[in-house]
Chains A and B, each alone.
Chain A
Amino acid sequence: MSDFIAAQESKLGYRMVAPAFLVIGLLILYPIFFNVYLSFFDVQLNGEKSFVGAQNYSKLLSDSGFYDSLGTTLIYLTGTVIGTTVLGLAVALLLNEDFPFKNTVRAIVLLPYFAPVISVVFGWQFIFDPVNGVYNHMMVEVLGWSAERRNLIGEPDSAIWVVIIFDVWKHFPIAFLLILAKLQSIPRDQYEAAAIDGYGAWGRFVNVTLPECRFVIATVVLLRLIWNLNRFEDVYLLAPNVETLPIYIYYQAFTGVIDQGLAAAISVVQLLFLSGLIWLYVKKVLKW
C-alpha cells in the first residue's frame, strides 16, 4: 500500500515539474550546450554555419578587444562589488538606529533597486550631460574644480566610473536589505557585554558587528559578482562605450562585423567564470 502511495506521489511529482523542466531544458540547458557547439563554427545571422575548429578561440586569444574587455569587466566588478557592499553595510548600520520616519526612509531607499533601468538611465545621462547637467554645473561653476565642461559619459575612461556609481546607486539597496536583516538578529546583550568589556562604538563594530555579519557580507559579495558578471542593460543603456564582457559579446553578435561564432566563444569563456562563482556560492553560502 505505501509503495503504491509512494509511486503515485512520484508520478504526480514528475507530471507537475514536467512543463517547467521542458521549458528550462529547451530554452536554457540546450542553448548552453548549443552555444559550446556554435563556438566551433563560423555562424551567420541567417543561420548558415561552417565548421572552423578552434579558430574562434585562437582569434579570441589574439584579440586585443577581448583583453580590454576583460580589464574593463575586472574594474567594473571590483568597483561595484566594493561600492555596493560598503555602502550597503554603512546604510544598514545607519538605518538600524532609531530616528523619526524610520520605516518610510527604509522603503524610499529601496526605490532605485526596483526602478526599471530604462526609466532611470536617461536621468543619469542628464545629470552628467555636458550642456545641461548638474554635475558639470557643480564642477565648473560652483566648485571650480574643473576648468571646462566635460562629457564624462562620452569618454570610455571616465564613463566606466559613472557606470560604477550608477550600479552602486541602483544595487546598494539589496545589500542594505540583506545586511539589515542580519543586524536585527544580533542579540543586544552581545553589545552590552562588549560595552562592559570597555569597547567603544568602533570596538563594538569590529568585535561584534563584523564577525556576526561576515557570512552575510560574503553572500552579498558573491551574489554581486554573479549578477554583475551577467549585467547587460545597466551598462549598455547608460554608456554603450563601456565594454564589459556581456556588451562585448553583444557587439560581436549583433552589430558591425557580425561574428556570432566568436560571440559564442566569448560566452563560453564567460560561462566558465560564472560557473566557478556559482559553484562557490553553492558550496560556501548554501553549503550543499
Chain B
Amino acid sequence: MSLKRTNFQRVFLLGAVLLVLMFSIFPFIQILSTSLKYQVDWGNPSLIPAQINLDAYKELLGISTEEIELPETIKIMLDSPAISEEQRAAIVKKFKSNANVFPFGRYMLNTFVIATLTALLSTAIATFAAYALSRLKFKGRSAFSNMVLFVYMVGGVLLMVPLYQMSVSVGLASSVTGTLISLLLIYLVQTLPVAIYMLGNYFRTIPFSLEEAAMIDGYSRTEAIFAIIIPLSRPMLLTVMIYCFVIAWNEYLFASVFLKQYHDFHTLPLALQTLFTSKNAIWDRIMAASMLTLLPVIIAFTVANRFISSGGTEGGVKE
C-alpha cells in the first residue's frame, strides 16, 4: 500500500515474513527431522540428521527386511520331537507376526475406509438437503437451516455421554459391527452440518435460470438437479468430500470412546496416541507415523486448495 519503501522497511518486511514462515513450519521440519534421526542424534538441536535413518518408515510401512529372531526357549521347544510339523509352523508364524507390534498399514486402512464412507454418505445426503434449502420453498425451511447452523457449532464432547448411552441401550455397543456402525453414524452427523452449509452456499451462486431452461426442455425438477446442478458443482462436491474425509481422518474423541477395546479397528489418531503412551524412547517411529498421517491430508488439500479459500471458510469451518 505504501508507494515507496526505504531499504530499511524492505529488510524489516522480509524479516517479519521470514519469522512468520519459520513459526508456521518449524514444527513440521522438527517432525520430519526427528523421524529421520538415529536415537543418539535426538538430543542434537540441529535439524539436519547426522546420518539419515529410514528404519522407522520401513518398520511402519512393513518393508523392514530384518529377520525376526526366535527366542532360545522357543527354539528348544521347536526342536522337541513331540511337536508336529503343523504346530511348528503355527508357532513360528505367531512369533513372526507378533514381532510387528504396530500394524500401521492396518490402522491406515481402517481410517481410510471409515473416512471414505463418511465422506461419500455425508456429501450425498448433504447435496439433497442443501439443494432443498437453497432452492425450494417449503414450510419450516428457515427453521431447518437455523437448526443446521446451531448443531454445526455443538461440539462432540457435549454429545459423547448421550450417544454412548444410546448405543449401549440399543445394543450396538456390544458387538464390533454395531460399534463400527455407531461410529460411522456419528462421523456422518459430525460432518453433515458443515457439508450442508458449504454446499448450500455454493448452490445459491448457480443461476436458477439454468435449471429453468432445462425444465422448459422437459426435464423434471429432479432430473434437472442431476443434469445441471451436480455437474456444475463437481469441484465443490469434491471439496466438501475432502473436508468430510479430513474431519473423519482426524477424529479422536469418539474413536477413543467406542473403539478402545477393539484394537484391530483402531483408527490412526487412536493408534498413534496408544503408541505414544505405551512406550518411551521411540521418537523416530512416532514422528515417522506423524509424517505418514499428515501426508494424505496435505495431498487432499493441495487438490482442494483452489476452492478452500473461496467457499470453505465462510462462517468458520468445522474444526
Residues of chain A having any CB pair with chain B under 8 Å: 6, 8-14, 16-17, 19-21, 23-24, 27-32, 34-35, 38, 43, 45-47, 91, 94-97, 99, 105, 107-109, 111-112, 114-120, 122-127, 129, 131-132, 134, 137-138, 169, 171, 173-174, 177-178, 188, 191, 201, 219, 223, 226-227, 229-233, 236-237, 246, 249-250, 253-254, 260, 263-264, 267, 270-271, 274, 278, 281-282, 286, 288
Contact = CB atoms under 8 A, between A and B. Distances in A.
B159 A35 contact: yes
B141 to A, nearest CB: 7
B269 A118 contact: yes
B139 interface: yes
A274 to B, nearest CB: 7
A108 B24 contact: yes
Contacts of A116: 246, 249-250, 269, 293-294, 297
Contacts of A177: 309, 313
B161 A132 contact: no
A134 B45 contact: yes
B220 to A, nearest CB: 10
A227 B269 CA distance: 20
B290 A118 contact: yes
A283 to B, nearest CB: 12
A119 B155 contact: no
Given A31-B163, A94-B13, A109 B20 contact: yes
Nearest to A270: B158
Closest 6 pairs (CB-CB, A-B)? A230-B155, A13-B138, A20-B129, A10-B138, A13-B136, A31-B162
B137 interface: yes
Nearest to B20: A91
A271 B290 contact: no
A233 B165 contact: no
A47 B169 contact: yes
Give the interface size class of chain B. 35 or more
B63 to A, nearest CB: 21
7 contacts: A16-B131, A23-B192, A24-B192, A108-B21, A120-B27, A126-B34, A188-B1
Interface string B255-291: 0110000000000110011001000000100110011
The DSSP consensus for interface residues of chain A is helix
Contacts of B297: 114-116, 119
Interface string B208-224: 00000000000001100
A237 B159 contact: no
Contacts of B91: none
Nearest to A278: B153
A9 B13 contact: no
Interface centre among B193, B253, B256, B316 (most CB of A within 10 A): B316
Contacts of A17: 128-129, 132-133, 144
A134 B37 CA distance: 15
B123 to A, nearest CB: 11
Given A108-B21, A111-B24, 18 more contacts: A27-B163, A27-B189, A28-B189, A31-B159, A31-B166, A99-B13, A111-B28, A115-B294, A118-B293, A120-B27, A123-B287, A126-B30, A173-B24, A233-B250, A271-B154, A271-B158, A278-B150, A286-B149
Given A13-B137, A120-B290, A114 B301 contact: yes
A203 B156 CA distance: 44
Contacts of B21: 105, 108-109
Nearest to A264: B161
Interface centre among B156, B157, B164, B298 (most CB of A within 10 A): B157
A226 B153 contact: yes
Interface centre among B128, B151, B161, B315 (most CB of A within 10 A): B161
A119 B291 contact: yes
B24 A29 contact: no
A240 to B, nearest CB: 9
